Structure 1
Amino acid sequence: MTRITAQRKPRGGKGDWIADRVLRALIRLALRLPLRTRLRLMGWTVARVIAPLAGYRARAMENLAHVWPDMPEPERRRIADAVADNAGRTMIENYDVPGLLARMQDAPITGAGLPEIEAARAEGRPVLFVTGHFGNFEAPRAALVARGWRIGGLYRPMANPFFNSHYAANMHALSDPVFEQGRRGTMGLLRHIRDGGMGVLLFDVYDSAGVTLDFMGQPAPTLTSAAEIAVKTGALFVPFFGIRQADGLSFEVVFEAPVPHGPPVEMMAEVTRRLEARIAAHPGQWFWIHRRWKPKRQRKRAARAAAERG
């Protein structure tokens, strides 16, 4: 029997071009406004317009129900709107690299890991920072770059190639070297770290190639590549977080104690626990819009695996 496969719509077509032009115009408009007005505008636009229309609010509420089934719907909606507001603010902050660096130059930096990363820098030892899509995840990197540090990273390219061109350029503007996710990019980051450099990796996205770890009480496939790079290079493995403050404008930057080297799965379980603690304290600052768990897909995979074993 012939299988009919639905063809995916090719990327880079007219629709992607139009969407990118609209977004570019919105970014240019917002960057002309004073900072506080800009952040309020982008937060409100994403939370009240884009998130409901694009289904992001519904997805966030669905994820919240998956993790906290007893949470009342009004509370889930409140958190989902806070998530979208933070996403809008984060996007426009990261498109103003000089402004973000200026703001973060005097931002408070705390945490048990700070003395260790300062010692590593003085001695030329590598450091691999790890974090999630929480608060503004670029704020800690900006705080160090503004103080003269050089910190690379690995980024996941956007599906829209027109948007990705300026998104990637913006990533490079904050601090090089920045590598695109994939085998070549991972090898580039590995070489940079091995040579005594510093880099950042985000780990909290669904990846079917990952090992299943509990995240917020639910199984979630998680890549162990960050821990593996740290072990291979001897790098300090340091979780960090940029926590947005109540004014919606400022941040507290926390560099936590390094995670000791060991089996990569155990290392990733520990950084997952660190992220969970931050989410529990500030649930509106994590990106609940992500399809982090995909429970239906996981159940199908488990059923296939059970059938193959049987």
Structure 2
Amino acid sequence: MKPLFRLLAHLPLPALHALGAAMGWLAFLLSPTYRRRFLENARQAGYGFGRVRGAVAEAGKLVGEVPRLWFGAPVRLLWDGAELIEAARGAGRGIIFLTPHLGCFEVTAQGYAQRFGPITVLYRPARKAWLRDLVDTARGRPNLATAPTTLAGVRQMLRALKAGEAVGLLPDQVPPEGLGVWAPFFGRDAYTMTLPARLAQQSGAQLLLAWGERLSWGRGYRIRLREWSGELPAEPQAAARASNAGMESLVRECPQQYLWGYARYKQPRKELAP
């Protein structure tokens, strides 16, 4: 797969997005399970299909752009709210970026690494060996480190924050059983990670909301940053509710680029909790 990804990485971004959009619609039309979950999740948030129709193609673009982002030349990036990063760095604080499955979440970490310096992102290692090797190789970029969802990974993120560096999380990702609590997400209980609050409490880092808007016609991306008001509550249930509310606010900025087909309300996997 790696040679194929390297080959596709040479294609222009508009071509990759066009290919991805076609794949997105193909998956939507051919998979009743995926289509039903997409529509149910959107309806849970109050959106009819007409409002989120564009998200079908955007989900495919998320896949189509991967070769370019992992193996290709840097993409065009615009910034909205970069002064929030500069203020946190100027105060000597680490930064915790909270990013939902919205737009291109891969590019937010890459953009920070290119412009500001070291960032560590949390990820769940792939189960298949070939995919794990592909992901580990592709994400090993300058100033961009990855931390697995293990105790060692949590310690790695804490060290980065205490050194004044940044970390990135997808708090609308369903964590393994024992690493979250049930909290409302668009009015329905979803198993929600408690890690962001623990990291913030132990490191004193600045919380920022971030997402990568995918610009039309393959023109690049705009990294949008939003200020987090106040502190995350110490109590896990309250912290999860606050985190989900923050993610909801970002999704409502651009519901056409949210990954509505993601199984947000699934039961957590039974794994060994770190």
What TM-score, normalized by structure 1, do the two folds share?
0.74
Alpha-carbon shift at residue 204 of structure 1 (Å): 0.5
Query: Of residues 121, 137, 140 in structure 2, which corresponds to 1:153?
Result: 121
Change (3 A) 1:167 1:57: farther
Aligned residues: 263
Of 211, 236, 247, which aligns to 2:217?
247
Residues 51, 256 of structure 2: 8 Å contact kept: no
For 1:272, give the aligned amino acid. Answer: N
**From 5, 8, 12, the counterpart of 1:34:** 12
Higher strand proportion (structure 1 or 2):
2
**Is residue 160 of structure 2 the alignment partner of residue 192 of structure 1?**
yes
Amino acid corresponding to residue 280 of structure 1 in structure 2 = R
- How much does 1:242 deviate? 1.1
- What value does the CA root-mean-square deviation take over the aligned residues? 2.7
Give the 5 Å matches for 1:239-278. 239-264=209-234, 265=236, 266-278=238-250
Matched, 1:95 2:70: yes
Could you tell me how far 1:291 is from its partner in structure 2? 1.1
Mark the CA change 1:47 to 1:236 in structure 2 (over 3 Å): closer, same or farther.
same
Partner of 1:138: 106
- Residue type of the alignment partner of 1:121: R
Which residue in the other structure is 2:57 paired with?
Answer: 82
Letter in structure 2 aligned against 1:154: L
Q: Give per-residue Cα distances to partners, 1:230-283, cap 9 Å, x unaligned.
A: 111000011111112333433222221134224244444333223212322322
The question of whether the paired residues in 2 share the 8 Å contact of 1:131 and 1:203 is answered with: yes
Is 1:47 matched with 2:24?
Answer: yes
Q: Secondary structure at the match of 1:149?
A: coil
Residue from 66, 72, 96 that aligns with 1:128? 96
Q: Give the structure with the larger helix fraction.
A: 1
- 2:205 is matched with 235
| Alpha-carbon separation, structure 2, partners of 1:277 and 1:148 | 26
Q: CA deviation at 1:148?
A: 4.0
Identity %, equivalent residues = 25
Whole-angstrom CA distance in 1 between matches of 2:35 and 2:134: 26
Using the alignment, how far apart are the partners of 2:3 and 2:145 within structure 1? 28
Aligned-pair CA distance for 1:223: 1.0
Q: Does 1:216 find its partner at 2:193?
A: no
**CA–CA distance in structure 2, aligned partners of residues 203 and 141 of structure 1:** 15
Partner of 2:139: 171
| Partners of 2:119 and 2:166 within 8 A in 1 | yes
Q: SS at 1:189's partner residue?
A: helix
Amino acid at match of 2:231: H
> Per the alignment, in what secondary structure is the counterpart of residue 238 of structure 1?
strand
CA distance in 1, matches of 2:83, 2:10: 39
Distance 1:273 1:174, change over 3 A: farther
Q: 2 CA distance for matches of 1:193 and 1:177? A: 13
- The structure 2 residue matched to 1:293, chosen from 246, 256, 265, is 265
CA contact (8 A) 2:113 2:144 kept: no
Shift of 1:179: 1.2
Q: Note the residue ranges of structure 1 that are not aligned, 5 or more in a row.
A: 1-20, 299-310
- Aligned residue for 1:17? none
Structure 1 residues 196 and 220: CA distance shift in structure 2, 3 A: same
What one-letter code is carried by the residue in structure 2 that aligns with 1:33? L
Q: Which amino acid aligns with 1:152?
A: T
Give me the whole-angstrom Cα distance separating, in 2, the residues matched to 1:120 and 1:240.
Answer: 14
Q: Kindly provide the CA deviation profile for residues 97-137 of structure 1, in whole angstroms up to 9, marking residues without a partner as x.
A: 5323xx22xx1x223xx434213323432111111111111
- Measure, in 2, the Cα distance between the counterparts of 1:118 and 1:77: 34
Q: Which has the larger radius of gyration?
A: 1
Give, in whole Å, the separation in 1 of the partners of 2:111 and 2:161.
20
Cα drift, residue 151 of structure 1: 1.3
Unaligned runs of 5+ in 2: 269-274
